[in-house]
Each structure stands twice: as C-alpha cells, then as structure tokens.
Amino acid sequence: MDRIEATRFTRQLERGITLLQSVMAAFLAILLFLGVVNLGITIGRAILVRDVTDVAATLALIRSSIDIVLYLFVIVELYHTVVAYVEAQSVVMAVIHAGLIAVVRQIITFKPDEYGPQEAITVAGVYVVLLVGLLLGFYVVHREIDQESVE
C-alpha cells in the first residue's frame, strides 16, 4: 500500500469514526427524550394514583424523580462529551461534570439500610473519595480555564 492509499484509507476511517460518534450523539438525544417522557409519566401517574397526603409515597416520588432527573443530567453530559469529541474539543470538563452528577446521584439515592454496617461504611467512604477526587479535578480544571481567560 502506498502513501496515497494509506492516507485515503485513514480519511475513510476518520469519516467512519465521526459517523459513529454522530450516531452515538443521536442515540443519547433519543435517550434524553425518552427519559423526559418517563419522568412526566412517573410524576403524572403518581399524582393520579397516589394520595398526595401520604408522606411515604410523596417522599418515594420525590426520590425517584430526583433519580430520573440526575440520570438525565448524566445523559446530557455524555452528549456534550460526544459532541466535544466530534468537534475535536477538550472533553475533560464534560467528563468531570458527568462524573460529579453520577456520584451525587449515587449519594442521594444511597440507602445504607440495604447494606450491612461494615459494607455501608465502605460504600459511603468510596462515594466520599470519588466526590473529593472529582471536586479536586473540577477545581483544577476551572482554575486553569480562569487563568487562560485572564491572559
């Protein structure tokens, strides 16, 4: 294979990768739409079927709604990551945002009573380590961005 054929082949591969990334972005957009519909159905059905004065049912609705909304935020950040790849931009910030949202979602929906005492402490500790690491990365990246914008 000579150099011209290799270059042509590489360009075709690049187009294929860009097409696949665009398909992934479209898939994430469809997932986002379906998630919003799911959220609407969940809230609508809860209002129509459940007694709003029932505290336990209302709290369960709030918890499941927050869980769905945070899933949707993760999907949005993944979409931003794919778009940044397609546009050849830095994806670090989008990845950190997606990670932060995912960890916060896990923390909010964490139910220690589903674990033994030792396991619950371990899981909570892992969440703290992940959150601190992501917050540190968030701080460092934002600091770099702020310093670049000043210059």
Long-range contacts of 16-23 (CB under 8 A, 24+ apart): 18/86, 21/82, 21/85, 21/86, 22/86
- What does the alpha-carbon distance between residue 103 and residue 82 come to, in Å, rounded to a whole number? 20
Residue 65 within a domain: yes
pLDDT at position 59 is: 80
Most confident listed range (18-22, 90-94, 130-134)? 130-134
Residue 122 within a domain: no
Range of the domain at 77: 3-88
Decide: pTM greater than 0.75.
Answer: no
Residue 26 within a domain: yes
Residue 14 within a domain: yes
How many domains are contained in the chain? 1
Residue 69 within a domain: yes
Contact in structure between 132 and 118 (CB atoms under 8 Å): no
Residue 123 within a domain: no
Check residue 88 and report its DSSP letter. Answer: T
Q: What is the pLDDT of residues 9-59, one digit of tens each?
A: 888 888 888 888 889 889 999 999 999 999 998 888 877 876 667 788 788
- Per the prediction, the chain carries an average pLDDT of 84
Residue 144 within a domain: no
- What does the alpha-carbon distance between residue 101 and residue 96 come to, in Å, rounded to a whole number? 9
Distances in whole angstroms, Cα of residue 98 to Cα of each of 2, 4, 5, 51, 134: 43, 40, 40, 35, 10
Average pLDDT over residues 57-82: 84
Distances in whole angstroms, Cα of residue 68 to Cα of each of 3, 15, 56: 51, 34, 18
Residue 120 within a domain: no
pLDDT at position 1 is: 55
